[in-house]
């Protein structure tokens, strides 16, 4: 097994998907860090929830697309449109809020993190265009997490 550490990031740079070196505060790296945090939070309550598990897997694919430089092909297909549709169906079937909801619990923390990831993705998208399905899926995910949080109340 190769060593876990490479020492190549010790100077403040990291690699995109194709090996191109960028600053660790490059918008694509920032966006992926926020998605990684979101995915970790989802892992705290995704067990036994097939849609969340599928979303977690797709977030890994999304991260690879975010880290793919413009003009390069990413071999991993996106399934963001299908997942967005599944989330919309669940949202539409849920009871609608009748007033202000005070956020409580880990699902609301994940929802707030999803909003942060979405903002970073939009920043990255402006300089490094992304598949717009990614942006829609992340936007819908925060709504879906709101629905899940309300179910747990």
89-133 pLDDT, tens digit each: 999 998 777 666 767 889 999 999 999 999 999 999 999 999 999
- Spans of all domains in the chain: 15-92+101-152
Length in residues, the chain: 153
- Please state, in angstroms and rounded to a whole number, the distance separating the CA atoms of residues 88 and 92: 6
pLDDT in tens, 130-150: 999 999 999 999 999 999 998
Buried b (16+ CB within 10 A) or exposed e, 43-78: eebbeeeeebeebbebbebbbebbbbeeeeebeeeb
For domain 15-92+101-152, the question of CATH label 3.40.50.620 is answered with no
pTM flag (> 0.85): yes
């Amino acid at each position: 097994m190769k060593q876990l550490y490479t020492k190549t990031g010790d100077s403040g740079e990291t690699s995109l998907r194709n090996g191109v070196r960028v600053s660790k505060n490059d918008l694509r790296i920032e966006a992926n860090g926020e998605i990684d945090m979101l995915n970790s939070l989802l892992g705290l309550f995704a067990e036994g929830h097939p849609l969340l598990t599928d979303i977690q897997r797709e977030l890994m694919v999304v991260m690879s697309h975010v880290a793919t430089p413009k003009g390069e092909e990413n071999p991993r297909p996106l399934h963001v449109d299908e997942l967005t549709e599944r989330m919309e169906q669940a949202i539409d079937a849920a009871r609608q809020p009748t007033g202000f909801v005070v956020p409580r619990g880990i699902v609301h923390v994940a929802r707030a993190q999803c909003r942060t990831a979405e903002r970073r993705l939009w920043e990255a998208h402006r300089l490094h265009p992304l598949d717009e399905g990614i942006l829609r899926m992340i936007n819908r995910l925060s709504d879906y997490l709101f629905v899940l949080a309300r179910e747990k109340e």
